[in-house]
Amino acid sequence: MTFKSTKKHENKLSSKRKLQIKHFYQTVISAFPMILISIMAIALLGIGISARYQHPLNTENENSADSQPGQQQGEDTAPIEKPYTAPYIDPPPDITANAYSVTNLRENIRMYAKNPKVPYPPASVTKIMTAVIALREYDLEKPVIIPEKCTKLEGSKAGFKANDVFTLEDVLYGLLVRSGADAACAIASIGTEADFVEKMNQEATDLGMVNTIYENEIGFDRGEHQFSTVDDLELLAKEAVKSNVFRKITGTREVTVKALNSGSAYKLINTNELLFTIPGTIGIKTGYTDSAGECLAYLYENKSDEIMIIILGSQDRFRDTTKLLDWAKEQIKKTASN
């Protein structure tokens, strides 16, 4: 009798438990749509927040696979300021450059940038820094001897002969007008090349050029760990154009310089073709190597505009720069009329 009573009680408990379980599952099933919607909403919110912080405004592929050794991946998340928010502002033109920036210096506004923090070889745009150090360290009338080793370098040269002596100013014409490797070498050889390059890197640090390393004063990148970025080169170019001497030299279309000792004359024609085709072009510096492609740091001025353009890794730097300049002037004009 005791056994049967216990069995009957267990059956009652079992039936009650089954009803509880059935009720639980009915509750879960009825609430499932709301739970699913909540999960999806949280996921979408997370994606939105992630996108906001991982995709800077007006910036393309800043951490691309084209990054060079020494690049710090994943740290380029600071948004680039968008200067104009009106809907009539046109997108920039398609160009061949791997990286570039367009900056309205009058308003101190970055109008657009592509890959501004990705390191690339700067080629002879390096010589802007060579000039900055030379102008800071030496007097313009200082005699500079052209060492024989400098005349045997590859790349573009001013054509100076070994042992000719020039004023530093005339050597700077060879450096910035003709993009002479011989001129850069002669300037660095006033002391030692190692000391000069150390000063270049120190100046880069002082200017906040955090993704730039110089291995030589010329811009050679074959087997060298030498690179910079659009952002860094814009900082350098802004510093360089504070010098009226630098502006005068880089804006010179052609000039003849003479050696102080031999009297040999050298005609130098500027490598920046835009000086001959676009009125208002100030300079600044061209560059090219097989690794770097075509490069250009460029400054344009008129009564109302001052526009700086930095180009790296281009297939046609002058065409690219012209297209970006036309675009920038049009956008400035549109915003001024509204």
Annotated binding site: 285
Phi first, then psi, for residue 251 (nearest 5°) are -90, 5
Taking the C-alpha atoms of residue 231 and residue 113, their distance in angstroms, rounded to an integer, is 9
Taking the C-alpha atoms of residue 279 and residue 100, their distance in angstroms, rounded to an integer, is 22
Taking the C-alpha atoms of residue 279 and residue 90, their distance in angstroms, rounded to an integer, is 24
Question: Residue 100 pairs with which residues in a beta bridge?
Answer: 114, 311
Catalytic site residues?
Answer: 124, 127, 179
- Residue among 275, 283, 310 nearest 294 (CA): 310
Question: Residue 309 pairs with which residues in a beta bridge?
Answer: 102, 298
Which residue numbers belong to the known binding site for substrate? 285
- Helix segments in the chain, DSSP class H: 2-54, 127-137, 148-151, 168-176, 181-188, 193-207, 230-240, 244-250, 274-277, 317-336
Quick one: tokens of 337? Answer: 């009329």
> ∠301-307-308 over CA atoms, to 5°?
115
3-class secondary-structure state, position 31: helix
